[in-house]
A and B are shown apart, each in its own frame.
Chain A
Amino acid sequence: MRLISTLSILMTLAGAPAMADWQATLDAARGQTVYWNAWGGDARTNAFIEWVGEQTEERYGVAITHVRLSDTAEAVTRVISERAAGRDSGGSVDLIWINGPNFLAMKEQGLLFGPFVGDLPNAQFVDLEPPAPAALDFTVPVEGMESPWRLARFVFNYDSARVDAPPRDMAAFVAWAAANPGRVTHPAPSNFMGATFLKQALIELAPDRAVLLEPASDAAFAQQIAPLWAWYDALRPNLWRGGETFPENESVQQQLLNDGEIDIAMSFDPASAAAAIAQGLLPDTARVFVPEGGTIGNISFVAIPYNAANAEGAQVVANFLLDPMVQARMQNIEVLGAFSVLDPARLDAAARAAFAALPTAPALPNLEDLGPTLPEPHASWMTRLTEEWARRYTR
């Protein structure tokens, strides 16, 4: 009895006001249309966003209009120009699919609404304590200003019909390429996938990994980068076409894998191999592997601009995206195949069962197969790395 009353007091102190706030948000959101600005280049993602809109409209009376962007920076520019024009409320952008440099720019310039993530009921299923992946975005603390929705993990795709034992870690690529000259390459580092390949190697090879999370100073850069160049100089002569030229992006690289010109390609989506097989774009024998120590991962977030006209509706959408059933559907290879951002340890039995019941494909790895998620280095490392690479290896 006493226990119950203590609990109820605790509820009144902590839980109830939050619940009451959320009910207020739901009430305010009803009838709103959320303009979700999101990259529109992927048909499956577009279809998923459409489904989310149908669901939120049915359940909460919140409709979604997907504003298809070719580059997220477009939405950022729109908010900046609205502020320049003095439009501090009633803005045209309600929700942005965002991460990395765009988030940093908006956060630094005070263009974001929030913090709001802690108030979302479904945030309880996410680990938001740094250094958890959902708490840091390219090393920038999220601090509740953007809400996670899908996980991106750097993985390698390979053709198991031609490769028995893919390299175990980045260092092993040198020996593997020497034994299989011309059968591996990476996209040009001016492309983010090519840069990620180099960053993955940097993380594995750097003498002090922790320094990578700080902004890169001249001395630190020179010190941490030296092993990377030694590794790359040994690897490059055995790359596809002698490391003289590189595919433009990961799509071209996947085409090369499909054509059999190379044996290993890379992706930021662990489900990409399975999805490509289903579309007839990779042989049935394509599989995924990751280096033993884990790979770089980053999370896609949604953020709400400070002047959003429908901020309540946007929060409802952000919360709905974190619903375990929605996340399970998103992870379904037949729907989207994007990995969930939820912490499995925080899920109840029903939710775990939903994830366990997802259809599998031979080329689809389990989350456990992917090993630990390594944080992105601070953005300055990537800038310096690609510039230095261009200086060293462009004739």
Chain B
Amino acid sequence: MGKALHKVTTAFADGRGLRAAVLVTVALGLVLPIAAGLWQTTRAGLGVLPAIGATELSLRPFVDLIALPGFSSALRLTLVTGLVASALSLVLAVGVCAAMHGRISPRASGRLLTPFLAAPHAAMAIGLVFLLSPSGWIARALAPLAGWDRPPLWASVNDPAGFALILGLMVKEVPFLLLVILSALSQIPLRQHLAAGRSLGYGRGIVWIKVIMPQVWPLIRLPVMVVLAYSLSVVDMALILGPSHPPTLAVLLLRLFTAPDIAMLLLASAGALMQALLVAAAFALLWVLERVGRAIGRWWVRRGGRRSSVEPGLWLATGLAALLFAAGALAMLSLLIWSLAWRWSWPGMLPESWSLRAWSTPGGGWAAALGNTVILAAATTAVSLALAIAWLEGEDRARRARSGWAEALIYLPLLVPQIGFLFGLNVLFLRLGLSGGYLAVIWAQALFVFPYVMIALSDPWRALDPRLARAAGSLGAGPWRRLFTIKLPVLMTPILTAAAIGIAVSVAQYLPTLFMGAGRIATLTTEAVTLSSASDRRVTGVYATLQTVLPFAAYGAAFLIPALVHRNRRALLPGGAT
């Protein structure tokens, strides 16, 4: 017994046992549900769902789905909004980086980006609806100038072409890509390349496009794919900002999944497969574009061309991004104001009368939703953080860099469209008797929280000065003691930041909560999305504000706690000397 225990502890100490445990957890907890979910969805999409008495393998669900009125428009709409939003977001993010890098400190840019990264998609969308709609803030500001006594006949939200949806996606995606690019830039010798390029007579913008971007691209390819997959399959933003007649494919599928006629489940599953194929096709398109871009880029670099300037383009991109940020900030502000309003009618820029009534009735629902949201966020973040730390510590002990497949594994849940496997997973959970409970929702949310926590923690973990652990080891500290007394305290700031990101991701989850909770576990996000199609914007404002405040508070804590704990450790303070 003692011997066996000793063996086990040794196995964990040299990392083999730890890595095996992490591998099994990831395989069973992350890969298996996704694979099993996809398998169930595929079966149902091909007509086999014994629970509703469908047992015959056929392509009928696909045929019926395509025959639905408006299906082809929904497909086209999905492609246009998803591809345009991703492409424009990338172009703007690159443009802003090229124009602003070096002119604004990394800390300041981090502070600027954080609110936009933290704000949940649904809350942002609800705020944008009020900002953009024909009776919204922008139109109200223009009304006295244009002499409108009634809201103009615009279709500026829920428009058939999906422009509002594209804009909403960009407000969330440009900051994300900016952050990703900024972090990639820290890994390449930027200053030297810029200096070399400029000394050869090229303008700043051209150096960015010809020299920097080709080096950045491999580092941001996976995040760009995440953005692409997300834009093509987003549900909550499309419900709120997108057109409804017909909606995007993902919203159409959600309607079919929740239709009273259970035979629609087969069509919905077929559609979920199509959604997955659509994302795969977009990845293939990206791959082709990358090849073509590489060939054209080589030719372009060889050709020279010192006189061409892209500076105006860069400043245009920066201007547009600034407009996006302004829209996002106003959208979030409008939520707060609505929650405090009593009457706020056209064309007033501010409410005519104020009231705390929407806030003063927590028993009316928001207290319960807030409680559920906090429980789910805490549980999913704790699980994800523990797994991520175990994984990284396992890598440390093995003294091995992460292999490509492991990196892909981390990204897997973000690359497969949620709707593609969540329904199948729910069928599975139902059979196991897990559906509708907290455990199922925590599990499903953790699938999406873990990757972000892992990605956020990986770089700071690797950047940790190895001499600290080595010094501790030479003083006789074992691997566990080194982990708990040296690494974790020193890494407190990045760990808390990763936790804040985890909380933000958990709070924002809509589809996993809805599907796995069987509609019974109401969170701020599910309630806010439901309320966005009700008639009381003041109550919606309360939910959306709380939904935004929660991640903000988490980020605030991630900043304040280390500042307090490490107040006498200058090098450990956020942004302190490193």
Residues of A within 8 A of B (CB): 43, 70, 73, 162, 181-183, 188, 241, 244-246, 248-249, 251-252, 254-256, 258-261, 276, 279-281, 283, 390-391, 394-395
> Closest CB-CB distance, A303 to chain B, in whole Å?
19
Contacts of B353 in A (CB 8 A): 280
Establish whether residues A162 and B245, one from each chain, have CB atoms under 8 Å apart when the complex forms: no
Establish whether residues B535 and A254, one from each chain, have CB atoms under 8 Å apart when the complex forms: yes
Binds A, one of B151-159, B215-223, B272-280, B436-444: B151-159
Establish whether residues B135 and A260, one from each chain, have CB atoms under 8 Å apart when the complex forms: yes
Measured CA separation A183–B260 after assembly (Å): 32
Q: List 10 A-B contacts (CB under 8 A).
A: A70-B519, A162-B150, A241-B153, A246-B244, A249-B533, A251-B533, A260-B345, A261-B133, A394-B73, A395-B246
> Closest CB-CB distance, B380 to chain A, in whole Å?
25
Determine if B214 is an interface residue (Cβ-Cβ < 8 Å): no
Residues of B within 8 A of A (CB): 69-70, 73, 133-135, 150-151, 153, 155, 158-160, 243-246, 260, 342-343, 345-346, 353, 355, 364, 519, 533-538
Measured CA separation A244–B70 after assembly (Å): 12
Establish whether residues A248 and B533, one from each chain, have CB atoms under 8 Å apart when the complex forms: yes
> Closest CB-CB distance, B248 to chain A, in whole Å?
13
Find the A residue at minimum CB distance from B255: A190
Measured CA separation A208–B536 after assembly (Å): 41
> Closest CB-CB distance, B518 to chain A, in whole Å?
11
Measured CA separation A162–B345 after assembly (Å): 14
Contacts of A279 in B (CB 8 A): 536
Establish whether residues B536 and A281, one from each chain, have CB atoms under 8 Å apart when the complex forms: yes
User: Given A188-B244, A281-B535, A281-B536, are A259 and B69 also a contact pair (CB < 8 Å)?
Assistant: no
Contact of A260 among B69, B151, B153, B343 (CB under 8 A): B151
Measured CA separation A160–B364 after assembly (Å): 32
Establish whether residues A259 and B246, one from each chain, have CB atoms under 8 Å apart when the complex forms: no
Find the B residue at minimum CB distance from A70: B519
Contacts of B536 in A (CB 8 A): 279, 281
> Closest CB-CB distance, A271 to chain B, in whole Å?
15
> Closest CB-CB distance, A105 to chain B, in whole Å?
11
Measured CA separation A394–B160 after assembly (Å): 12
Measured CA separation A187–B443 after assembly (Å): 37
Measured CA separation A211–B313 after assembly (Å): 67
Contacts of B364 in A (CB 8 A): 43
User: Given A188-B245, A252-B535, A395-B73, are A245 and B151 also a contact pair (CB < 8 Å)?
Assistant: no
Establish whether residues B244 and A241, one from each chain, have CB atoms under 8 Å apart when the complex forms: no
Establish whether residues B533 and A259, one from each chain, have CB atoms under 8 Å apart when the complex forms: no
Contact of B245 among A183, A261, A394 (CB under 8 A): A394
Contacts of A162 in B (CB 8 A): 150
> Closest CB-CB distance, A47 to chain B, in whole Å?
12
Establish whether residues A259 and B346, one from each chain, have CB atoms under 8 Å apart when the complex forms: yes
> Closest CB-CB distance, A90 to chain B, in whole Å?
25
> Closest CB-CB distance, A98 to chain B, in whole Å?
15
Measured CA separation A276–B158 after assembly (Å): 25
User: Given A244-B155, A245-B245, A280-B343, are A255 and B150 also a contact pair (CB < 8 Å)?
Assistant: no
Contacts of A248 in B (CB 8 A): 244, 533
Establish whether residues B245 and A246, one from each chain, have CB atoms under 8 Å apart when the complex forms: yes
Measured CA separation A182–B152 after assembly (Å): 10
Establish whether residues A73 and B260, one from each chain, have CB atoms under 8 Å apart when the complex forms: yes
Contact of A395 among B70, B260, B343 (CB under 8 A): B70
Find the B residue at minimum CB distance from A260: B346
Contacts of B260 in A (CB 8 A): 73
Establish whether residues B155 and A241, one from each chain, have CB atoms under 8 Å apart when the complex forms: yes
Establish whether residues A244 and B245, one from each chain, have CB atoms under 8 Å apart when the complex forms: yes
Contacts of A254 in B (CB 8 A): 535
Contacts of B244 in A (CB 8 A): 188, 245-246, 248
Contact of A280 among B155, B160, B243, B342 (CB under 8 A): B342
Measured CA separation A261–B157 after assembly (Å): 13
The 6 closest A-B pairs by CB, nearest first: A259-B135, A394-B69, A251-B535, A394-B70, A260-B346, A254-B535
Contacts of B342 in A (CB 8 A): 280
Measured CA separation A162–B150 after assembly (Å): 10
Measured CA separation A283–B344 after assembly (Å): 10
Find the A residue at minimum CB distance from B260: A73
**Known contacts A245-B244, A281-B535; can you find 10 more A-B pairs with CB under 8 A?**
A241-B153, A245-B155, A245-B245, A252-B535, A255-B534, A255-B535, A259-B151, A280-B342, A280-B353, A281-B536
Contact of A259 among B73, B133, B153, B159 (CB under 8 A): B133
Measured CA separation A1–B150 after assembly (Å): 76
Establish whether residues B160 and A244, one from each chain, have CB atoms under 8 Å apart when the complex forms: yes
Contacts of A249 in B (CB 8 A): 533
Contacts of B73 in A (CB 8 A): 394-395
Contacts of B151 in A (CB 8 A): 259-261
User: Given A248-B533, A255-B535, are A260 and B150 also a contact pair (CB < 8 Å)?
Assistant: yes
> Closest CB-CB distance, A103 to chain B, in whole Å?
15
Measured CA separation A182–B151 after assembly (Å): 10
Find the B residue at minimum CB distance from A182: B153
Contacts of A390 in B (CB 8 A): 69-70
User: Given A246-B244, A246-B245, A394-B246, are A259 and B535 also a contact pair (CB < 8 Å)?
Assistant: no
Contact of B535 among A181, A183, A246, A276 (CB under 8 A): A276
Contacts of B519 in A (CB 8 A): 70
Measured CA separation A276–B159 after assembly (Å): 28
> Closest CB-CB distance, A229 to chain B, in whole Å?
15
Contact of A245 among B69, B150, B243, B345 (CB under 8 A): B243
> Closest CB-CB distance, B207 to chain A, in whole Å?
46
Measured CA separation A65–B11 after assembly (Å): 58
> Closest CB-CB distance, B154 to chain A, in whole Å?
9
Contacts of A183 in B (CB 8 A): 150
